[in-house]
Amino acid sequence: MIYTILGVSTVFNAIVCLVTGAIVYFRNKENPINRTFTIFCLFMTVWAIGYFFPFTPDSKELSLLSFQILHAGAIFVSVAHFHFICAILKIEKQKRRIIQIGYLSQLFFLLFVPTNFFIADMVPKYDFTYWADVGPMYSAWLITWGFYIFYSLYLLFCFYQKTSGIQKKQIGYILIGDIITFSFGSTNFFLFYDINVPPYLTILASGQVITFAYAIIRYRFFDFQKNLFRVFRNIFSLFLALFILYWIYQLAAPINSDIQIMALFIIGVLVFIFLKHLFNSRVFHKIFRLTNFDQFEKVIDTFRSKLKIYPNLAHFQKEIETVFRQKLNISSAKIVLLTEKEKKKYSQLIRYFVRNKKYVVKEEMEFICKSQKKKCSFLGELSVLGAVCFPLFHGKNIVGFFVLGHKPFENPYTKDELELLDEASHYITLSLLSIIYNAELQKEVEEKTQKLSKQKTQLQVSNKKLKELDHLKDSFLSVASHELRTPMTVIKGYSDFLLSGKFGTLTDKQAEFLTKIFRNTGQLLKLVNDILDLSKLDAERMSFEFSDVNIKQFLREDALSNFQLLCEQKGITLTLQVEKGMTKMKTDPDKIKRIMNNLVGNAYKFTPKGGSIKVSVQKADKNDMVRFEVADSGIGIAKENQELVFEKFGQVDNYLQKSYDGTGLGLPIVKKIIQKLGGKIWVESEPGKGAHFIFLIPRLQHA
């Protein structure tokens, strides 16, 4: 049984030391810590390989060779270990003379290993067929070996008391590893001096390498924690699976059939797979206070893959806390937006980031500043923020900080984790810029909204004043029109009496003057009436009275009767055409008469002698509308002026005002009346080809 334990210990120690040393060395050959640790692992590997005598228990010669090989490695273990400790503590130069003396002295003892002065003979001891009986040089070597081991422990203990932070934790684990390695590894020496203590715990001689690897994984000695953890996970899974398989083999012995061998192999594979998953489980990481990098990476990748726009900083801060505090159990996580106040508060840290462009880990920066005796004025500002700070750059400007507290168990952030977080900070920067832009846009919208609201209020006040003025204007026009219409009517009446000759015969000059007075008074009275009607329409005070009207009879006998004689005197043909079946309609006859008086009056005014005026009425195509048309063969209206005729005082061209009488209010009044009746009016015309006025009104009107 003891040979089996030593055999397993030999293979386990050799693989652990060899693999760890190789990984550390090839990761960074230039680093003195890497080099010295690899040398230490190399001698530990030679020592472990030298324990092959359990596989040749019946050969005295091979057992002697085994002990000579293992001591060829063991001789240099203490000095290599001391060299490695000096490199970690950064005192390699100070202890160079002691290191050199150590290697030379151990080289001196190496010369005696093949001789009887070192191993005198191979004799039976305890349960071993052969074990070394030592010579005088062995004891001398053991004294120097012990000196370098105890001196290493002393230095580690002294530095452990002086240091703090990550370095203190690193030194602490190395100290624990040394105690395990050299306490249990030293059990090999008892049998050399005939003390019956068997080296059952030789397997723990790798404790120094294992704890150092643990320190690497947990406390960032080197930047390959993830890979090293995966290697050790596979090694431990394999050895535990082999141990369980060996135990099953012993219980089930003898195993003779191929089926039994195959079943044993399958069990071993399943146990290996189970152990790999166990070592990667949350329970395992929690027990050994490690960070599960795979879980860490998954959470960060999920966070970065979100294409989400946050409405404000509070929502984004809540998302940050959910991801980093709740899912990753980091003590704190926050975004610091650099307002003018914050820029003054963290001015030194901002200046550092502008120069260096890289995130800062507080404990590491404190160690660097202390070891290099630098004055880092920004450390005070960094301490207020958290354990690690990532600058959020937009171009050359820093817009904020992404700050994290401590990881679970106060483990430091590994390089792989920091790189992931650095990439995540770019996503955070984009989200923060989006929030800033939205905030600025919202502020601008609010300012413009307030400005528009103020303008709206001002416009409402102005509009109210304009309505009041418009009302005053309408009131004035109404009053003025009423007041003007009475004397104008009197003047027109008296002029008419005088012209009739009832009060005496007038001279030609008197008749001419009175005729002008009568005509201009009539025009002025018409203007007053138009203004009064227009003011009533604008103020919506004009009343409408609807009744059934025989449209053909009404137009012939009432609306157009006055124009029939005038047209005959001027030599103009006036015709009326009403569509068959178009008899009655319900409307306001006075308003229809007013419309026709204006339209036919305009046609009469602008149609030369020998021309024609045609009035037609017919059903419209839809909506039960009636279509009225007044067409003449007069001077016509240019297309660009056709809308102008419906505006107040919009008589076309100045020469028309001189050549034809008119106020310019007739058509605007017509348009407003038609609109009040629920219809519309337009004109189709070309210069020299007459004008064609068309309007539509409903056939049935409601009072």
Q: How far apart are CA 143 and CA 136, in angstroms?
A: 12
Most confident of 13-17, 129-133, 479-483, 492-496: 129-133
Q: Indicate left, alpha or beta for 660 from its phi (over 0: left) and psi (-120 to 50: alpha).
A: beta
Tokens of 694: 């068309």
Residue type, 588: D
pLDDT at 216 over 60: no
C-alpha atoms less than 13 angstroms from C-alpha of 352 in its C-beta half-sphere? 20
pLDDT at 51 over 80: no
Residue type, 161: Q
For 56-114, what is each residue's pLDDT tens digit? 677 888 888 888 888 888 899 889 989 988 988 889 889 999 999 999 999 999 999 89
Quick one: pLDDT at residue 464? 85
For 247-283, what is each residue's pLDDT tens digit? 676 666 666 677 777 777 787 778 777 777 776 666 6
What is the phi/psi pair of residue 697, to 5°? Answer: -140, 155
For 283-329, what is each residue's pLDDT tens digit? 655 655 556 677 888 888 888 887 677 788 888 889 888 888 888 88
The proportion of the chain whose per-residue pLDDT surpasses 90, expressed as a percent, equals 15
Average pLDDT, the chain: 80
For 661-670, what is each residue's pLDDT tens digit? 556 678 888 8
List own/partner pairs for 692-695 with CB under 8 A and 24 or more apart.
Answer: 692/629, 692/630, 692/631, 692/632, 693/599, 693/602, 693/603, 693/629, 693/630, 693/631, 694/627, 694/628, 694/629, 695/595, 695/627, 695/628, 695/670
Q: How far apart are CA 92 and CA 81, in angstroms?
A: 12
- Sequence ranges of the domains in the chain: 2-223, 547-698
Q: Mark 292-315 as b/e (b = at least 16 C-beta within 10 Å).
A: bbeebeebbeebeeeeeebeebee
**Residue 254: is the preceding peptide bond cis (ω within 30°)?**
yes
For 517-573, what is each residue's pLDDT tens digit? 877 777 776 777 777 676 666 666 778 888 899 998 999 888 888 888 889 888 999
Q: How far apart are CA 216 and CA 254, in angstroms?
A: 44
Across 383-466, where does the E strand assignment appear?
388-394, 397-404
Tell me the pLDDT band of 656, cut-offs 50, 70 and 90: very low
Quick one: pLDDT at residue 283? 60
Tell me the mean pLDDT in the region 134-155.
91
For 402-435, what is each residue's pLDDT tens digit? 999 888 877 777 777 888 889 888 888 888 888 8
Quick one: pLDDT at residue 469? 75
Which of 133-137, 177-181, 418-422, 609-613 is the least confident region?
A: 177-181
Quick one: pLDDT at residue 562? 84
Q: Are 335 and 400 in contact, with CB atoms under 8 Å apart?
A: yes
Which is more confidently placed, 341 or 530?
341
- The 3-state secondary structure of 504-540 reads CCCCHHHHHHHHHHHHHHHHHHHHHHHHHHHHHHHCC
Reduced to 3 states, what is the DSSP secondary structure of residue 657? helix
**Burial of 535 per CB tally in 10 Å (0-12, 13-18, 19+):** buried
Q: Which architecture, in CATH terms, is 2-223? A: Up-down Bundle (1.20)
Q: Which CATH superfamily is domain 547-698 in?
A: Histidine kinase-like ATPase, C-terminal domain (3.30.565.10)
Tokens of 153: 């422990």
Quick one: pLDDT at residue 646? 84
pLDDT at 359 over 70: yes
Q: Are 697 and 679 in contact, with CB atoms under 8 Å apart?
A: yes
Helices (H), 50-135: 60-88, 96-110
Which is more confidently placed, 29 or 697?
697
R_g over Cα of the chain: 56
Q: Are 235 and 11 in contact, with CB atoms under 8 Å apart?
A: no
Most confident of 98-107, 200-209, 645-654: 98-107
The proportion of the chain whose per-residue pLDDT surpasses 70, expressed as a percent, equals 78
Termini Cα distance of the chain: 121
Quick one: pLDDT at residue 574? 93
Which among 696, 676, 680 has a CA at the least distance from the CA of 545? 676
